[in-house]
Amino acid sequence: MAEEQMEEASTAAAEATPFQLQFDKPIPFQIKMAAWNPEKDLLAMVTDDSKVLLHRFNWQRLWTISPGKCITSICWSPDGKIIALGTEDGLVLLHDVENGKMLRTIKSHDVAVVCLNWAEDDLLSRPDKDEFLPYEDRTARFFPPAPVMPRIGGLSSGDTGLADENEEAIPQFCSASCQRFNILCSGGTDGCVCFSIFGIFPVGKININKIPINVESSGKNNYQLQDASVSKVSLSRNLQKLVVLCYGKLIDTENLSHNCEIAGLHCLYLDTSIFFNRKNELHQVSQQASSIQDLVEVVRASISLISKQWSSTMNLFHEKFNTLPNLIAAHGAESSSEDEFLSLLFGTRTSPALHQFLASSLGEAGLKRIAKAVDSAGREIRGVVSEHLQPAVEIISFRLAELRGLARWRSRFQIIGLDEKLVDGVTESIGMLVVQVERFSRVAATVLYLFQNFFTWVLKCVKILLNEPTDQVPAANSELVVIFLKFLLDKDPIKQLLEADERIECDMDSARHVEQLVVFGGFTDTQFLERSLVKQFNQLEDSLKEAFLMPFTTISSQIHCQGLLPLYPVTSSDTFSLTCTPTSISFYKDEDSQHEESSHNWTDYVCFKIPDGSLNERNCIGVIKDSGNCCTALSMSSLSGFLLHMPDEYECVDLSLYKDNQVVLLLSERSHSDSPGRSWMVMLQTQNLSFTPLSGTFPTNIYSLQKLVALDLQLDTDYGKVRSIPHTVSTPLAVSASRGVACVFSSRRHALVYILDEDEDEDEDGDEVSDME
């Protein structure tokens, strides 16, 4: 009977002629995940060896990248400009859609990031009583564009969390991301869900294993998940509700005897209305904070690069001049290098050791090489300070002053954790860092001038010893030479300022004067001159972490559980196969809502495949929806659903919720022969199916879906559209609601792109666009 239905559906659905795609490389590969760009006709795919491919709708490949890590999840930013990749080691990688270059690496989890969801604020969800407060970023009024990551002569700054090859894109990336408020949600195998505003500013983290579960009819919050792993997350467009699909045990902390029978897939509903209620404040704080964090990386890279450059130059200097003490000892003298140069400076006879050093060991060529290296290092260090380090700390200071002003608006910003005292402490730290950068700049200029004067004098001495004319050698200042010999030959002031554990000596008069100025300015840090530049920067980082941790902790504590719906039970032997079980979550606008805020009310739909044998069903899928208010606890009266039984000859390979309350199913024939099987893509209109209210008393009737009677999928009915696929298909199914297309991958490594919204009556040739091999 099912075969006859399939044949009738095949006749009704016109057959299409696919066209082939020639890959760049003949090496066969398997696609393990794919996602359509929400704004452009672009499809991002991840292969089984974790290469990322980007293709146009016409299957032109734009680029291929190999992140070098196992990719476990993928999603697009709402504006389609960034691809987010989750990795097996807990990283979230943000890549530029234009060229595939990495924009940012974020360490959000300690385990694999198995799901990502990037939701953008729905403008229509703002109630009239809370108009969006426009906030102008005034930094551009007073400062030029933010500095980028520095480079010197092939040297890189090292690992900063930003991409070294695409530093110029960072300011533009942040600026573009801050135009519309959006939140990136990521879920890990340890049950943690992380939230990042604009994808870059961490604003919250919850562990579903540690939150109390609110269960209707129990009257208590003593239920809790155990050993739960997140499978999928989805944040509503109004930012008020997060739906989490997770595998784990639901335990009664007061009655542990019921643990084993409640292990399975659960649908967890979380109240995230803090994002909706305080989106204006979070937008403003995260806009400043994310820019500050970028500039902190520029400061770190600048200091690291300066340190590398100066260390390399001083190694060359000491390599040459450290041979002098050995020569002095070889000649049986007991003087120091400083004594030898001072004797030469004041006209006494040149010792044999110093003569040999200047004439042979060092020589004119060696001296010029060192002088050139020091001069080059000085110019490059001055460039890094003036073009990167100093502008960065000045802009950080301004942005922190903006945050300080926001923190004083306690009625609006204290509730999201912006602490005035902590921000005041950070503001003082950045002020001290501004002074430290100015001091470093002056010290570096003085040291380089002393070096130049010393080299000039030594060069003249070398020429005299070699009986060469000295007319073109400028005269050296003997007093400056004495200062160099007494203070710089054994000590390096620049190095001292670049070491974290160095304590800078300061005379009593200067210390007393600085203390008076600090107190007069209303600050408390009177010992900052005793710290090095690096130590002051480390102190700034510590204070920033403390200040930004407060909003992170505050927001995390305000994300609560609305309720939990157990979907189906599983056994421990099913755990591995569950990672590939098809699931889908989506939110649709509730047009029939009678609430005052119906213009921005959303109904969440969850679609999932039920493993054979679970709930006493075989070859079945379930669809549930929650039409309740986002801000109230989960009620069984607002939940409804249906079960749909697939034809026995076919199995559901994958599924996806689509726009207008539709479900797209991918069915593949259960073939028992070597001949290629056939497959079907079915698009169902859920409104044509009967949703049955879910009821039951928890925990007696733990699985409410078990009471539902499964409907048989009839492909010759008016449930929806049916399309034949002349191949055996495999996961994934990539569906784009914004573009109206779906991409199907066959086991023979074909890719078929369908236009889902095409009217069948208009095109008798079918709607199959491409079949790529």
Strand locations in 168-207 (E): 182-188, 192-197, 201-207
721 pLDDT higher than 70: yes
761 pLDDT higher than 50: no
Exposed/middle/buried for 280, CB within 10 Å: 0-12, 13-18, 19+? middle
Q: What is the mean pLDDT of residues 436-446?
A: 93
pLDDT of residue 672: 64
pLDDT by residue (tens digit) across 52-86? 999 988 778 899 999 999 999 999 999 999 999 99
Q: Are 602 and 589 in contact (CB under 8 A)?
A: yes
- Residues 81 and 50: their CA atoms lie apart, in Å, by 21
pLDDT of residue 289: 92
Q: What is the mean pLDDT of residues 319-328?
A: 87
The single residue listed with the structure tokens 């079907």 is 680
pLDDT band at residue 541 using 50, 70 and 90 as cut-offs:
very high
Name 420's bridge partners: none
Name the strands in the sheet holding 102-107, side by side, starting at the edge strand that comes first in the sequence: 71-76, 82-87, 91-96, 102-107
Burial annotation 569-588 (CB, 10 A radius, 16+ → b, else e): bbeeebeeeeeebbbbbbbb
Q: What is the mean pLDDT of residues 302-327?
A: 91
Share of the chain above pLDDT 70, in %: 76
220 pLDDT higher than 90: no
645 pLDDT higher than 80: yes
pLDDT of residue 760: 41
Q: Which of 35-49, 101-115, 203-217, 632-646 has the lowest mean pLDDT?
A: 632-646
Q: Is 318 helix (H, G, I), strand (E, B) or coil?
A: helix
- Residues 519 and 529: their CA atoms lie apart, in Å, by 14
Nearest by Cα to 45 from 767, 758, 753, 756 = 753
Contacts of 108 (CB under 8 A, 6+ apart): 90, 91, 92, 186, 188, 194, 196, 202, 205
Peptide bond into 699 cis (omega under 30): yes
Q: What is the mean pLDDT of residues 743-747?
A: 85
590 pLDDT higher than 70: no
pLDDT by residue (tens digit) across 149-193? 887 655 555 544 444 444 444 444 555 444 688 999 999 999 999
Q: Which of 320-329, 521-530, 697-706, 728-737 has the lowest mean pLDDT?
A: 697-706
pLDDT of residue 599: 45
What does the domain layout of the chain look like in residue ranges? 288-553, 564-591+599-725
pLDDT band at residue 362 using 50, 70 and 90 as cut-offs:
confident
Question: How many CB atoms lie under 10 A from the CB of residue 268?
Answer: 25
427 pLDDT higher than 60: yes
pLDDT band at residue 719 using 50, 70 and 90 as cut-offs:
low
pLDDT of residue 12: 42
Q: Is 470 helix (H, G, I), strand (E, B) or coil?
A: coil
pLDDT of residue 537: 94
699 pLDDT higher than 90: no
657 pLDDT higher than 60: yes
Q: What is the mean pLDDT of residues 519-533?
A: 72
Q: Are 187 and 118 in contact (CB under 8 A)?
A: no
Q: Is 152 helix (H, G, I), strand (E, B) or coil?
A: strand
pLDDT of residue 24: 31
pLDDT of residue 169: 44
pTM of the model: 0.84
363 pLDDT higher than 80: yes
pLDDT of residue 352: 87
Q: What is the mean pLDDT of residues 375-399?
A: 94
Exposed/middle/buried for 322, CB within 10 Å: 0-12, 13-18, 19+? exposed
Peptide bond into 38 cis (omega under 30): no
pLDDT of residue 341: 84
Mean predicted lDDT score pLDDT of the chain = 80
125 pLDDT higher than 70: no
- Dump the DSSP string for 353-391: HHHHIIIIIIHHHHHHHHHHHHHHHHHHHHHHIIIIIHH
**How many angstroms separate the Cα of 370 from the Cα of each of 76, 435, 472, 558, 640?**
52, 31, 19, 61, 80
Q: Tokens in use for 301? A: 């890279």
Q: Are 485 and 336 in contact (CB under 8 A)?
A: no
Q: Tokens in use for 23? A: 């890959």
